[in-house]
Structure 1
């Protein structure tokens, strides 16, 4: 690994670690604090992709995935009020969502690399974020995938109530997913500012 890629690896690992910790703390009724840190993983991937190319970007994604796996393994050994902090379904959902979403982000970014500067990071993050939310919440909480971990009772996530408290009747996990997805979309737009600044700094000719 090129030493110039090390900041990206460290940044990705730090974001994944922070998000795994902050996901334990609620923010309002539908979110956790981790929802506000995790989306910046897409910013790191996109900066690496723009500055160094898809190869280094994928290596940073793998570093983040490994960090997430380690966090999940540690979480399975820590008991909370209702059992391990990280269940098998959450571990699988988290890892699968991260890997698929981030690698898709890299692929979409590459397809749009030659367009306007904002198209590739915005489109890739929107697609990746949508996949991330859909995969994680479905695998972790959908009743139809209960066979993944039969001993894990996630019936609480299937409780039906209005979407985000005001919409049509849906399972609770759908409201949690929609809230998470909404934050990701908002941060995808806001992240264009640091993306532009960081890429500009990293690609500016040295004097």
Structure 2
């Protein structure tokens, strides 16, 4: 890890902290504000991968994971209206989802780095985001995994409702997951713009030195 990597480390830490705070605030029926900040973590990882390689990108992911663990621990100590702000299942799901999805993102990006400039960041983020959503919401809210934390009542997440208020009947947590996933996919496409701009500027600065 060098001084050049510090901006990436700080950016990842800031994204994780901000997302852990903003996830406490609802936005409509299906989302929280954290859904719009968390996907930036994939942008940070992809920028580190493109500019410095897979090794530094994995180190930044590890920093983000450790910051996330610290945030989860703090959340377990804060009592909300219905108990701790962060339960064991949420902490476990968050940690597993982040580490698995981000490392998968790094691996896919590294395999595709020789193709068109947009191919690696788009493919890696789409796959990583999908895996992240699937792991987190399943571990945190699926009724099939109640044994992970028997004292945590997540029966509300299993209430059967139309998907996103208009589709077939599914457990509530599935609608929450789909809404989150759709935001991630949209932001994965939009993130190509800052990715291209930042990479081009960094490469120009290197050539100028």
TM bucket normalised to smaller: over 0.9
Instruction: Establish whether residue 61 from structure 1 lines up as the match of residue 92 from structure 2.
Output: no
Q: Which runs of 5+ in 2 are unaligned?
A: none
Pairwise CA distance, 1:180? 0.1
Where 1:184 maps in the other structure, the secondary structure is helix
Aligned to 1:85: 85
Instruction: Establish whether residue 178 from structure 1 lines up as the match of residue 189 from structure 2.
Output: no
Where 1:116 maps in the other structure, the secondary structure is coil
Pairwise CA distance, 1:203? 1.4
Match runs of 1:32-71 below 5 Å: 32-71=32-71
**Matched residue pairs, number?**
207
Match runs of 1:60-139 below 5 Å: 60-139=60-139
Could you tell me how far apart the structure 2 residues matched to 1:20 and 1:191 are?
A: 21
Pairwise CA distance, 1:202? 1.3
Match runs of 1:134-173 below 5 Å: 134-173=134-173
Pairwise CA distance, 1:201? 1.2
Match runs of 1:188-203 below 5 Å: 188-203=188-203
Pairwise CA distance, 1:206? 2.1
Length-normalised TM-score, structure 2: 0.98
Could you tell me how far apart the structure 2 residues matched to 1:28 and 1:161 are?
A: 16
Aligned to 1:206: 208
Pairwise CA distance, 1:122? 0.1
Could you tell me how far apart the structure 2 residues matched to 1:87 and 1:107 are?
A: 30
- The structure 1 segments of at least 4 consecutive aligned residues displaced by more than 2 Å after TM superposition are none
